[in-house]
Amino acid sequence: MAKYIFITGGVVSSLGKGVAAAGCGALLQSRGYTVHARKFDPYLNIDPGTMSPFQHGEVYVTNDGYETDLDLGYYERFLGAQLSRNDSVSGGRIYWDVLNAERHGDYLGATVQMIPHVTNKIKEYISAPTDTDFVVCEIGGTVGDIEGQIFLESIRQFANQVGRRNVMFVHLTLAPYLEKSGELKTKPTQMSVRRLLENGIQADMLIVRTPRMLTSDERAKIGMFCNMPAQNVISGIDVDNIYKIPLAYEGQHVFDIIAEHFGLPSATGDMTRFQKIEHHLSADLPTVHIGVVGKYFEVPDAYKSLNEALFHAGIQNNVHVKIKKINAESFSADECTGLDGILVPGGFGNRGVAGKISAANYARENRVPYMGICLGMQVAVIEFARNVLGIADADSTEFSKNCTPVIDIMADCDAEDMGGTLRLGAYPCVISPSSRAHQIYGKTEISERHRHRYEMDVSLREKFQQAGMKISGLSPDGKLPEIIEIPDHPFFVAGQFHPEFQSSPYSGHPMFNAFIAAALRHKH
């Protein structure tokens, strides 16, 4: 059977449990083990799909069309794994499943209770088959949260059922540094571990978030009060790039701790791919400046996958990518001066749409490399229709009911129904052989992930093409435009999908790689 590593957190939220989980998984992979990852979030939303980016950050979409927590992006990027709807599970989904089962009569009239019915449902998701050596499970929230207690009880039960040597508990805490007194305080970590122990869980390894490395005395003190060897106390120091985390863990012998717990043979890891990224970060390379015209910048994680994909493409092109955040709601053409490329990402609602349309216009008229993602493709179509085709009231029915619609709701969806109408997950796309899109991908059939409700009107295809904008990618039935481009432009390409969800730090993504290459040409 697979062995399980559970990642929990205490003291405060946002300690980086997702990155820690991915980092531990990467160390196992570096020794040849196969790894799967899962995320359990105690909140009561069924999934993050309806949660505001201003509050929760990015919604990550899996291949099978499930809206998940952004930590699944960390897992897929770090581990190269392809995760599914059963790898992102919320408290709301658990209770939904249990209550529906009760209504269906599955419990045969029994009194439905937190134990065993809710805990059993959580354990079902934990133990779903993976065909891997390890499953790394992150438990969201913070130890002490009311809604998270049932998840801690579930993993406690699970460890007893499968055997303590088949389960490892890794706990993230915070050791705050008091600048006035020059002291690093370990008491919050001690109290967090004690709170975890109150739930019947003894941590096997601690990752303590600190601004500096813990001293041997501090590690010994924490180990003594937290009932573990001092060497199992790891310094979770701040790094300037998340891909340095596996190297930081490797330097502190995290794999050796995991190996000792599970009885694995000692082995040297191949950390080449992370060393390559570390070298790129410190290398003296040219810098391209990319303007991202968005509206969710208040939350750093709102464009997490997008930022990562640009960084990945920089690695592939041997350049540093510097992102300039441009607020679409107050867009000014002056903000585009000196940019080597303009990217308009996805989004919902009409806030900032005028600014995004203006950004597409600026890129087209000034021949600055342009990449559009989802809504970024739609605003490019609207801009072209208005300013090249002369359709003054061209718009999307998402933003205006009294317009000439060049973007409209999918034919089989009710525009008034805001639930269940999104085109979600991986869909195939057929690419025209003689197109820039074909040059980018090197193939005529691709698969990309979607998250949108509105589509370009394909009946306008000939009119757009005659004026200079080509639909170079279509759904296999020819009804849904997937990629548009302007051939007579240094680089003007947009997709209805979200390519950032399939970008990798080890290979990038074809569309982002091509966009950054075009930005570098523009710079020169």
List, by residue number, the catalytic residues: 374, 498, 500
Neighbours of 485 (CB within 10 A): 23
CA angle 484-485-488, nearest 5°? Answer: 155
Q: How long, in residues, is the chain?
A: 524
Query: Residue 217 is which amino acid?
Result: D
Residue 26 φ then ψ, to 5°: -65, -40
Contact status, residue 41 vs residue 94, Cβ threshold 8 Å: no
Which residues, at least 6 apart from 183, have a Cβ–Cβ distance to it below 8 Å? 177
Residue 376 φ then ψ, to 5°: -65, -30
DSSP per-residue string spanning 409-430:
E-TTS-TT--SS--EEEEEEEE
**Residue 270 carries which DSSP code?**
-
Mark residue 16 as left, alpha or beta (left: phi above 0; alpha: psi -120 to 50; beta: remaining): left
Give per-residue burial for 378-417: e unless 16+ CB within 10 Å, then b.
bbbbbbbbbbebebeebbbebbeeebebbbbbbeeeeeee
